[in-house]
């Protein structure tokens, strides 16, 4: 009788511990992960309470009642434990329906067969009662389905152990301690199951019920000390279940431990298979994705999706608990339309629509930066200022529509002659400018002369009348330290005025105090 009392106290303490763990998990959030863990706690409680009451019952009917109650929990413990392991290692969502059937079919049938055993004896071939330690004991002879259920439970536990061991191998030492506790808990469960089937020492005791609370203690330590549930469940409660963006949960070691369906869709479109490897090994061929995941600052990253360039905003939310940072929630939002719209607006704000060249604002902003950069690089800078000759006469005689055609044609000439690296702009009605770097004076003069000749040779027609428009060019070189874009423009303007004084349709170079007429 003393033995029964000691075991009952042991069970009582374990039930309190399990209920506490259940309450702790339930307060974390409302996610499926937490729900499964709570169901596991309930299954353990039904089992331990039922067996404790069975030990303390004297009547046959009472013993049988409590024994049946145990099976609300017994067959589901290993199944729910496997489900928790699959969710923790990130495998459950990938084949959810198939896994649900494979995991829970046998437990549900076990419950049904145990409750209806007297009609078919598939679960228990026979039952008897003996007196042991002063109390009545239920002696059960296993039927064929009990062996099926035992094999199923053993397989479930070993699969869980394998998953966690494989996960542990890839983790850092701090994470391995946590997983080792969970594996140890699984070993205690397997030991209890084996002892229950072998019945050593001739005692009619449910060894599984004795070993299971010890496994529960180890799991509780993993929860409370190593945060087995909190980082992942806290993340889910915040954003996983409701956010329409791609959500990725990373631990403090930069390994992806969970993600939502939108993230999976993004990974599939990138042809990436998520594993437990560090992300720097998962995305070697997509450095932009790696950059977005590693950065803690919010930023927009361009990714190649289905053969097109799309833009994604990466933002980070840290998961902090009392013991320090446990990981990061990465929110990945498709901002392609917004980004392209903003780029288009910026382009329009910096672009002259008529000529297709940069406008005066863009020329000043970009030009000033290039001038400043040349101060440190020592690179030679040249500025061409160009003015379409007698352009007002074209507008007055042929109309502004013809004047627009002339501007467009001259814009095409400039884009044809100068490369994209040069800053080409329309800075006024008939005024144009080109800022060049990395060229010598001979090449700059050749460029200017080529522009002049192309324009001179271009014919325009209006109402059966053909005419041409020429261009005057002034060239200046930045050769003084600290010289600004404004002073360089004044120097080029001076050369341009000289070209007009000389009759237009020519190029004049202003290099310091030296003036040189090219044509």
Note the pLDDT tens digit of each residue in 78-118.
888 888 778 766 666 666 777 788 889 999 999 999 999 99
Lowest mean pLDDT among 16-30, 206-220, 330-344, 430-444: 16-30
Share of the chain above pLDDT 90, in %: 36
pLDDT confidence of 256, banded at 50, 70, 90?
confident
pLDDT confidence of 178, banded at 50, 70, 90?
low
Mean per-residue pLDDT of the chain? 82
Residue 268: Cβ-neighbour burial (10 angstroms; 0-12, 13-18, 19+)? exposed
The answer to whether 29 and 12 are in contact (CB under 8 A) is no
The SS3 call for residue 147 is helix
Asked if residue 266 has pLDDT above 60, the reply is: yes
Summary count for the chain: helices (H), strands (E): 19, 15
Name the active-site residue from 58, 141, 430, 463: 430
Lowest mean pLDDT among 269-283, 304-318, 474-488: 269-283
pLDDT confidence of 211, banded at 50, 70, 90?
confident
The answer to whether 263 and 332 are in contact (CB under 8 A) is yes
456 in catalytic set: no
Looking at residue 30, what is its pLDDT?
A: 54
d(Cα 352, Cα 345) in Å, to the nearest integer? 13
Looking at residue 516, what is its pLDDT?
A: 45
Asked if residue 299 has pLDDT above 80, the reply is: yes
Q: What is the pLDDT of residues 406-423, one digit of tens each?
A: 999 999 999 999 988 899
Hey, what are 358's tokens? 């940069």
Most confident range, picked from 248-262, 319-333, 463-477, 503-517: 463-477
Share of the chain above pLDDT 70, in %: 82
Domains of the chain (ranges, CATH numbers)? 2-228 (1.20.1070.10), 238-340 (3.30.450.20), 350-517 (3.30.70.270)
pTM exceeds 0.75 for this model: no
Looking at residue 513, what is its pLDDT?
A: 37
Asked if residue 434 has pLDDT above 90, the reply is: yes
Looking at residue 515, what is its pLDDT?
A: 41
Better-scored residue on pLDDT, 451 or 224: 451
């Amino acid at each position: 009788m003393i033995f029964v009392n000691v075991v009952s106290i042991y069970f009582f303490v374990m039930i309190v511990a399990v209920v506490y763990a259940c309450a702790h998990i339930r307060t974390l959030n409302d996610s499926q992960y937490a729900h499964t863990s709570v169901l596991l706690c309930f299954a353990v409680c039904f089992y331990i309470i039922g067996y404790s009451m069975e030990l303390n019952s004297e009547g046959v009917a009472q013993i049988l009642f409590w024994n049946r109650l145990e099976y609300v929990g017994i067959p589901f413990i290993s199944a729910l434990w496997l489900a928790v392991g699959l969710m923790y290692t990130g495998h459950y969502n990938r084949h959810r329906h198939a896994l649900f059937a494979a995991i829970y079919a046998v437990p549900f049938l076990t419950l049904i067969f145990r409750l209806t055993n007297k009609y078919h004896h598939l679960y228990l071939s026979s039952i008897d009662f003996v007196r042991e330690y002063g109390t009545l004991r239920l002696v059960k002879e296993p039927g064929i389905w009990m062996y099926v259920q035992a094999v199923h439970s053993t397989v479930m536990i070993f699969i869980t152990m394998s998953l966690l061991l494989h996960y542990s191998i890839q983790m850092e030492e701090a994470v391995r301690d946590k997983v080792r506790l969970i594996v140890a808990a699984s070993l205690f469960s397997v030991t209890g199951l084996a002892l229950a089937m072998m019945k050593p020492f001739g005692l009619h005791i449910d060894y599984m019920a004795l070993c299971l609370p010890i496994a529960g203690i180890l799991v509780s330590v993993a929860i409370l000390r190593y945060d087995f549930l909190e980082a992942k469940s806290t993340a889910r409660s915040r954003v996983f279940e409701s956010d329409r963006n791609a959500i990725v949960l990373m631990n403090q070691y930069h390994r992806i431990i969970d993600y939502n369906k939108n993230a999976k869709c993004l990974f599939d479109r990138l042809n990436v298979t998520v594993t437990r490897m560090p992300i720097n090994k998962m995305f070697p061929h997509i450095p932009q994705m790696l950059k977005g995941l590693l950065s803690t600052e919010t930023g927009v990253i361009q990714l190649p999706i289905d053969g097109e360039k799309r833009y994604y905003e990466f933002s980070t939310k840290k998961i902090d608990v009392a013991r320090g940072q446990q990981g990061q929630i990465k929110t990945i939002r498709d901002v392609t339309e917004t980004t392209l719209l903003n780029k288009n607006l910026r382009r329009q704000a910096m672009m002259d629509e008529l000529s297709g060249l940069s406008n005066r604002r863009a020329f000043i902003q970009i030009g000033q930066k290039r001038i400043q950069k040349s101060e440190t690089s020592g690179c030679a800078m040249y500025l061409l200022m160009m003015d379409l000759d007698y352009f007002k006469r074209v507008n007055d005689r042929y109309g502004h529509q013809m004047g627009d055609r002339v501007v467009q044609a001259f814009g095409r000439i400039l884009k044809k002659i100068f490369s994209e690296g040069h800053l080409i702009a329309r800075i006024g009605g008939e005024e144009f400018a080109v800022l060049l770097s990395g060229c010598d004076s001979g090449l700059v003069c050749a460029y200017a002369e080529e522009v002049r000749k192309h324009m001179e040779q271009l014919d325009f027609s209006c109402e059966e009348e053909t005419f041409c428009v020429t261009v005057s060019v002034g060239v200046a070189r930045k050769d003084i330290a600290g010289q600004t874009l404004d002073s360089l423009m004044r120097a080029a303007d001076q050369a341009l005025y000289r070209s007009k004084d000389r009759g237009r349709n020519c190029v004049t170079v202003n290099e310091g105090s030296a003036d040189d007429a090219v044509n």
